[in-house]
Structure 1
Amino acid sequence: MMTAAGMPRMPARTLMALIAAPAGGYTAAELGDRLGVSAAAVSGAVRYLQTLRMVHRMSRAGDRRDRYELAHDVWYGVMTSNAPLYDRLAGFIERIGDEQEDDPDARARAADMAAFFRFMSARMPQLVDEWEAQRAHRPR
């Protein structure tokens, strides 16, 4: 499912493995064993997930190997950290549309896309508030 949403295959597999990780996460070797892949494949996947701030690398005193775990509130963080980008992206897309003076279809596509991102930018704070209210009343 994650690859269908655009995530590369190995980071998607690694992310799913980390959802089921025990307290303290997994080492790269443990992830490799769990997924049946090389340490190099895990290393690249973890690096990718770290750039998205979905995974944290943790060091433990006396242990030479780092451990990896899913970031707390990973989806919440990913969605809310991208919210300010939507408005900026809308501005860039509007400029692209404005430059398409001779192509009304391109201008319309750009206007529609920019309107969508402005909508997302405006709605994201409300969605976060709704989630926090629902989460507070959800049994754990």
Structure 2
Amino acid sequence: MPGGRLTYEERQDIARGLADGLTYTEIAKRLERPVSTITREVIRNGGGGYQAERAHHETGVRARRSKATAPRPAPVATDEHGRDPETIRKLEENFTAMLVDTGLSRTTARVLASMYTTDSGSLTAAELVQRLQVSPASISKAVGQLEQQKLIRRERDPRRRRDRYVIDGDIWYQSWMASAHKNTLLANVAHSGAEALGPTTAAGARLKNMGQLLEHLGNDMIRAAERWRDAFGDR
């Protein structure tokens, strides 16, 4: 049942869904489970090599081991703002799961989630390595992908002679506008292709329709972003 532990039958459904090429969101909807539950289940139990029987067995082993070694509950330690670290951890985990489902790799999603939930909005590569417990190479690849999508930017810290990665308040606006620009460029290519092939031919008509759609979507995206900036950009 939603909210409880996954059953063996549900794990079989997950395995079938992955084999059929379904996304985590589609599998979660089918099982009436949170997407984060499906994401954690798959990642913890083999990722692309997920097997229902093995996952069910390993989950039982982990549960018994955790019960046998669990220490006595300690007083909850909060940060300087009085926030519960466990609550923040769960927030990062759920945020990461959502980002993974949009197509980001897990490490890239974890980097972005960490930066969003850090008050400074700024971390060095070394700090990310320590925070996420992954290799420097993994962090380098992740920040490169995020920079390319304009979701973070790089700043030089002259005091420490190292780069800092910064997340701005309007990064989604910038990323959205970059996507709109790409749609416009692709629309132009499609229009040129339609003219070259002949707009009355099957291939030309296909490219013409593609160009019209992308041009329309790109313009709508730009107008929507500008309306948001006018209404909320200065807050």
What is the TM-score when the length of structure 1 is the normalising length?
A: 0.76
Letter in 2 for 1:92: V
Residue 118 to residue 131, structure 1, CA distance change in 2 (3 Å): same
For residue 54 of structure 1, give the secondary structure of its aligned residue in structure 2.
coil
For residue 2 of structure 1, give the secondary structure of its aligned residue in structure 2.
helix
Deviations 1:46-74 (A, max 9, x none): 12222222222223333133322213411
Letter in 2 for 1:32: V
Unaligned runs of 5+ in 1: none
How far apart, in 1, do the equivalents of 2:190 and 2:102 lie? 22
How far apart, in 1, do the equivalents of 2:121 and 2:102 lie? 28
2:124 maps to what in 1? Answer: 27
How far apart, in 2, do the equivalents of 1:136 and 1:53 lie? 18
For residue 99 of structure 2, give the secondary structure of its aligned residue in structure 1.
coil
Please tell me whether the aligned partners of residues 176 and 225 of structure 2 are also in contact (alpha carbons under 8 angstroms).
Answer: no
1:116 maps to what in 2? Answer: 213
- The 5 Å alignment of 1:1-140 reads 1-23=98-120, 25-97=122-194, 99=197, 104=202, 106-135=203-232
Deviations 1:65-94 (A, max 9, x none): 332221341110111234333233112123
Deviations 1:7-40 (A, max 9, x none): 3332222111111123161121221222221111
For residue 162 of structure 2, give the secondary structure of its aligned residue in structure 1.
strand
Residue 133 to residue 101, structure 1, CA distance change in 2 (3 Å): closer
What is the TM-score when the length of structure 2 is the normalising length?
A: 0.49
Greater Cα offset, 109-118 or 35-44? 109-118
Please tell me whether the aligned partners of residues 194 and 204 of structure 2 are also in contact (alpha carbons under 8 angstroms).
Answer: yes
Q: Higher relative contact order at CA 8 Å, sep ≥6: structure 1 or structure 2?
A: 1
Letter in 2 for 1:13: R
| CA root-mean-square deviation | 2.8
Q: When you count strand as a share of all residues, which structure comes out higher?
A: 1
Please tell me whether the aligned partners of residues 190 and 211 of structure 2 are also in contact (alpha carbons under 8 angstroms).
Answer: yes
Please tell me whether the aligned partners of residues 199 and 205 of structure 2 are also in contact (alpha carbons under 8 angstroms).
Answer: no
Residue 59 to residue 112, structure 1, CA distance change in 2 (3 Å): same
Q: Work out which of the two has the higher radius of gyration on C-alpha atoms and give 1 or 2.
A: 2
For residue 3 of structure 1, give the secondary structure of its aligned residue in structure 2.
helix
Please tell me whether the aligned partners of residues 121 and 167 of structure 2 are also in contact (alpha carbons under 8 angstroms).
Answer: no
Please tell me whether the aligned partners of residues 152 and 168 of structure 2 are also in contact (alpha carbons under 8 angstroms).
Answer: yes
Greater Cα offset, 8-17 or 79-88? 79-88
